[in-house]
């Protein structure tokens, strides 16, 4: 965001004191990250424009993106939150901003046969599986290209992993608030910038696709600026902030009927000097990946090893650890079908474990680690290691 004289300002509070804190690793867009001294928002500014269409990338650097599989992962992860909000029957109007491959739309229809959904998605190439469903009105474009009058009002506005991509996060939230009926709810999920404090981080968090990087503190400030009342949904998943809000003027309604853990403010906001510490740690950890890769190599010499998770952790192991992925069966249920191979190795669905004998499964995933572990056990895997465990021992 810029002011009229093109001086950058904070998208959330309009503050002009933006402190540059660093350059993301491997940025393709000349990104630099600034921290707002007033509200703590971390914002990317770019010196190069993106090309009109990027190739999908599973990179562990800032150029990760364009795979468009993330929403399926998240709908599964917030299933219990959705069930608390959405009735099992009766008319209920939902707008899904960035409907992607339709994972949420399909979930909503299976939940409530009377539901009506407006789905907004700019990319026509990924909407064919739900475009013609009679309960879905699909609009191609970005939210900011439509008028509130055209879209109408909704009982629930869903904004899963769109806010961080917006041209202006504040404008997007204001528009979301306008789309709500009285007592309507807004469900928002964004990546949690607190992840930069993880001891074992090897992936660049500040990717080129994200213009905004929120912690709970800066997200709460943004909700305040947008006159939305923010309630933090408790979550076991530290990689994402999942929040429910209502219009600040709402006095009663569905919020009274569901239990929401009010955010208590017991965490530390991210401060500008943490960026340097984080980046040093990423570089140091990438160096340690060489011993993780060696351990995997030793394992694969004695036994048949499947790697489950073919995105950023695998990329980091190959690029920075020197791991050779053709030694392993590579599995990724979300990626298979969208991308054929990673680092020259075919990406399989987990069905392959019904046909191929595997001694050891190595989980290269973070927020979906426990889901994968459960699935791997169901499919008969007896020896399972996570990246977390391997890294801690290296
Ligand atoms: Zn600010």
The boundaries of the domain holding residue 207 are 70-257
Q: How far apart are CA 269 and CA 232, in angstroms?
A: 15
- The total of structural domains in the chain comes to 2
For the segment 193-210, what is each residue's pLDDT rounded down to a tens digit?
999 999 999 999 999 999
Whether residues 249 and 299 share a domain: the answer is: no
Q: What is the CA radius of gyration of the chain?
A: 21
Q: How far apart are CA 56 and CA 310, in angstroms?
A: 13
Whether residues 365 and 219 share a domain: the answer is: no
Whether residues 210 and 300 share a domain: the answer is: no
Whether residues 337 and 243 share a domain: the answer is: no
Residues 224, 41: contact at Cβ < 8 Å? no
For the segment 54-90, what is each residue's pLDDT rounded down to a tens digit?
666 778 999 876 665 567 778 887 888 889 889 999 9
Identify the pLDDT of residue 4. 47
CA of 142 to the centre of ligand 1 (A): 24
pLDDT over threshold 50, residue 330: yes
Whether 47 is covered by a domain: the verdict is no
Whether 9 is covered by a domain: the verdict is no
Whether 280 is covered by a domain: the verdict is no
Sort residue 3 into left (φ over 0), alpha (ψ -120 to 50) or beta.
beta
Of the three residues 213, 240, 257, the one that is the final residue of a domain is: 257
Percent of the chain at pLDDT > 90 equals 67
Whether residues 233 and 308 share a domain: the answer is: no
Whether residues 105 and 184 share a domain: the answer is: yes
Residue with tokens 């075919």: 346
pLDDT over threshold 90, residue 305: yes
Note residues around ion ligand 1 (Cβ under 5 angstroms): 10, 12-13, 15, 36, 38-39, 41
Whether residues 100 and 196 share a domain: the answer is: yes
Whether residues 301 and 371 share a domain: the answer is: yes
Closest C-alpha among 64, 56, 70 to residue 315: 64
Whether 268 is covered by a domain: the verdict is no
Residues 264, 270: contact at Cβ < 8 Å? no
CA dihedral 103, 109, 115, 117 (to 10 degrees): 30
The reply to whether the predicted model has a pTM over 0.85 is: yes
> What's the rounded mean pLDDT across residues 15-38?
96
Neighbouring-strand partners of residue 243: 188, 232
CA of 24 to the centre of ligand 1 (A): 20
Percent of the chain at pLDDT > 70 equals 89
Identify the pLDDT of residue 392. 93
pLDDT over threshold 70, residue 19: yes
Whether 5 is covered by a domain: the verdict is no
Residues 325, 314: contact at Cβ < 8 Å? yes
CA of 195 to the centre of ligand 1 (A): 21
> What's the rounded mean pLDDT across residues 368-382?
91
CATH number, domain of 99, equals 3.40.50.150
CATH number, domain of 363, equals 3.40.50.20
CA of 283 to the centre of ligand 1 (A): 29
Residues 140, 127: contact at Cβ < 8 Å? yes
Whether 4 is covered by a domain: the verdict is no
CA of 162 to the centre of ligand 1 (A): 19
| Residue 89 burial class via C-beta count within 10 angstroms: exposed 0-12, middle 13-18, buried 19 and up | exposed
Taking the CA atoms of 133, 120, 254 and 240 in sequence, report the sign of the dihedral they define.
positive
Whether residues 154 and 86 share a domain: the answer is: yes
Residues 372, 365: contact at Cβ < 8 Å? yes
Whether 204 is covered by a domain: the verdict is yes
CA of 222 to the centre of ligand 1 (A): 8
Whether residues 175 and 96 share a domain: the answer is: yes
The two most distant CA atoms of the chain are separated, in Å, by 65
Whether residues 382 and 296 share a domain: the answer is: yes
Whether 300 is covered by a domain: the verdict is yes
């Amino acid at each position: 965001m810029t002011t009229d004289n093109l001086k950058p300002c904070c998208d959330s509070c309009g503050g002009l004191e933006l402190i540059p804190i660093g350059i993301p690793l491997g940025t393709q867009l000349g990104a630099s990250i600034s921290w707002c001294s007033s509200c703590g928002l971390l914002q990317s500014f770019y010196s190069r424009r993106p090309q009109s269409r990027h190739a999908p990338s599973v990179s562990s650097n800032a150029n990760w993106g364009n795979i468009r599989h993330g929403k399926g992962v998240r709908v599964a992860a917030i299933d219990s939150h959705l069930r608390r909000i959405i009735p099992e029957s009766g008319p209920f109007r939902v707008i899904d901003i960035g409907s992607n491959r339709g994972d949420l739309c399909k979930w909503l229809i299976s939940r409530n046969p009377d539901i009506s959904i407006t789905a907004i998605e700019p990319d026509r190439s990924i909407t064919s599986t739900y475009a013609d469903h009679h309960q879905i009105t699909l609009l191609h474009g970005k939210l900011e290209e439509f008028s509130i009058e055209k879209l109408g009002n909704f009982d629930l506005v869903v904004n899963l992993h769109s806010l961080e991509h917006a041209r202006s996060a504040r404008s997007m939230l204001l528009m979301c608030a306008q789309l709500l009926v009285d007592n309507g709810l807004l469900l928002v999920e964004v990546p949690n910038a607190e992840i930069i404090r993880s001891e074992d981080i090897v992936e660049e968090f500040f990717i080129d696709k994200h213009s905004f990087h929120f912690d709970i503190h800066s997200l709460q400030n943004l909700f305040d600026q947008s006159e939305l009342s923010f309630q933090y949904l408790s979550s076991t998943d530290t990689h994402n902030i999942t929040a429910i809000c209502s219009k600040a003027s709402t006095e009663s309604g569905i919020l009274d009927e569901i239990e929401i853990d009010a955010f208590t403010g017991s965490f530390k906001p991210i401060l500008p000097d943490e960026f340097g510490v984080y980046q040093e740690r990423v570089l140091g950890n990438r160096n340690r990946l060489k011993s993780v890769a060696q351990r995997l190599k030793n394992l694969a010499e004695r036994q048949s090893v499947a790697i489950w998770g073919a995105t950023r952790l695998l990329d980091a192991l190959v690029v920075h650890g020197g791991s050779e992925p053709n030694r392993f069966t590579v599995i990724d249920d979300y990626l298979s079908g969208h991308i054929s191979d990673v680092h020259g190795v075919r990406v399989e669905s987990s069905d392959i474990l019904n046909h191929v004998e595997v001694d050891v499964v190595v989980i290269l995933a973070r927020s979906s680690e426990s889901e994968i572990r459960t699935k791997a056990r169901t499919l008969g895997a007896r020896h399972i290691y996570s990246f977390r465990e391997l890294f801690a021992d290296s």
